[in-house]
Structures are given as C-alpha cells and as structure tokens.
Amino acid sequence: MKSVMKNFKEYVDSFVMVFGIISMVVLLFTTPTWLIWNHIIAPKFEIPTFTFWEMFFTLLMIKITFPEKTIIKKVN
C-alpha cells in the first residue's frame, strides 16, 4: 500500500511541476506583448484591447503561421 501511495505522490508531483512550467512559459511568452498592446498601442491608435488569452492565442497563431527561420551563410 505504501508503494502505491508513493507512486501516486510521484505522479501528482510530476503533474504539478509540468503544469507549473507550462504556466510560467505561457505567462512569460504573453505578458510583455499583452501589456505593450493594451497600454501603449491601443490607446494611441484608438483600437480595441486584447484579453490575456486572446493575446496568447494570437501570438501562438503568428508563431505557427510564420516560424522563425535562421539562415547561416558559410563564408569561404
């Protein structure tokens, strides 16, 4: 019985850690753009503001549609 509880605790701890890491990535990925848009760009040009999740999914769609391409040219 103790080994079952230990395994369950390990699964819960792993889930909490993965959830926490994903949450931090989402927060760090979205917050700067969201704040700049809502506090600088939207008032200046009188355009609508975004909610946090609207900005997250907008940025996600932009990243999927236009992936970063790194081109390294070799100089001889």
Is pLDDT at 39 greater than 90 in this prediction?
yes
**Mean per-residue pLDDT for 5-31?**
94
What pLDDT is stored for residue 52 in this prediction? Answer: 96
Residue ranges of the domains in the chain? 2-65
What is the number of H-type helices and E-type strands within the chain?
3, 0
Sorted by sequence, the CB contacts under 8 Å of residue 41 that are 6+ apart come out as: 47
What pLDDT is stored for residue 20 in this prediction? Answer: 97
